[in-house]
Amino acid sequence: MTANVETLFTESDGLSIAYQVWGDGPRNLVLVPGMISHLEASMENPGYLQWMTALSSVGRLVTFDKRGNGMSDRIQGTPTLEERVMDIEAVMDVTEMTSATVIAFSEGASLACVYAAMRPERVERSCQKNLS
């Protein structure tokens, strides 16, 4: 199984944030990754491809590498939740998503909750899963 998905970049707080858009359905979905991510390395995993293909069958799915992870710019120190929220906002803005269902797992779940609390007008619903 292969995916014809391109890795793109947008800016958040002066940093380059890598993101991908999967599918083109009527619903907007944002997947907030867990603690560690790498968009292109993940695509080598058949299970990941199957999961992303299934999610994107519901609508247009956007996922990204948080600052300091994967293909996004490296950073010094640990980013605040507010800084990471800016990354979600930047990816939604560049893909012209005024609102979305936010899906998250692992460490991304707390970030998704903070985003939903800070920007409730942009979150249609949220779905978090603790994988531990």
Express each pLDDT in 71-111 by its tens digit: 999 999 999 989 999 999 999 999 999 999 999 988 899 99
Q: For tokens 């390395």, name the residue.
A: 41
Please report whether residue 2 resides in a domain.
no
- Full residue range of the structural domain in which residue 123 is found: 7-129
Q: Give the list of residues 6+ apart from residue 21 with CB closer than 8 angstroms, or none.
A: 5, 6, 8, 60, 61, 62, 95
What pTM does this model have? 0.91
Give the separation between CA 27 and CA 34, rounded to whole angstroms. 22
Can you tell me the mean pLDDT for 36-48? 95
Please report whether residue 1 resides in a domain.
no
Residue 83 contacts residue 111 (beta carbons within 8 Å): no
Query: Which CATH number do you get for residue 103?
Result: 3.40.50.1820
Q: How many domains does the chain have?
A: 1
Which has the closest alpha carbon to 32: 79, 102, 115?
A: 102
Q: Give the list of residues 6+ apart from residue 93 with CB closer than 8 angstroms, or none.
A: 10
Give the separation between CA 116 and CA 131, rounded to whole angstroms. 20
In this predicted structure, the answer to whether residue 132 has a pLDDT above a threshold of 50 is no
